[in-house]
């Protein structure tokens, strides 16, 4: 399994709107993709901004490629998401999940 991690920041209102975007657009798209096994939206208040991290778990790099395209390190950030974020990483990091626990 491969974990794909991405970071962004937003105002508290922007973070709320990003969470709505995540629930309404990102999760349905990931469900349609196939190969995505989990998706987590993490937030943390940091001064006047909210740090955002999205971690998705994928079956393989091939299933990520079907979602992200040939440039696996390129972050997929829709215009609706860009509009509510103050900053975001243009790239993502991939990690091999070597151990885990099934709930």
**pLDDT tens-place string over residues 49-58:** 999 999 999 9
- Supply the mean pLDDT for the chain: 95
**Architecture of the domain whose range is 2-96:** 2-Layer Sandwich (3.30)
Report how far residue 15's alpha carbon sits from residue 9's, in angstroms, rounded to the nearest whole number: 8
67 vs 84: CA distance, rounded Å:
22
57-98: per-residue pLDDT in tens? 999 999 999 999 999 999 999 999 999 999 999 999 999 999
Cα–Cα–Cα angle for 60, 61, 64, rounded to 5 degrees: 95
Residue 99 pLDDT grade (very low, low, confident, very high; cuts 50, 70, 90): confident
- Nearest-angstrom CA–CA distance, 15 and 21: 10
Q: pTM of this prediction? A: 0.91
């Amino acid at each position: 399994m491969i974990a794909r991690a991405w970071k962004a920041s937003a105002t508290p209102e922007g973070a709320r709107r990003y969470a709505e975007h995540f629930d309404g657009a990102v999760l349905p798209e990931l469900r349609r993709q196939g190969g995505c096994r989990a998706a987590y939206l993490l937030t943390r208040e940091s001064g006047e901004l909210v740090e955002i991290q999205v971690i998705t778990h994928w079956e393989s790099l091939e299933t990520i490629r079907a979602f992200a395209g040939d440039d696996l390190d390129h972050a997929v950030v829709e215009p609706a998401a860009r509009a509510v974020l103050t900053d975001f990483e243009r790239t993502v990091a991939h990690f091999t999940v070597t151990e885990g626990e099934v709930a």
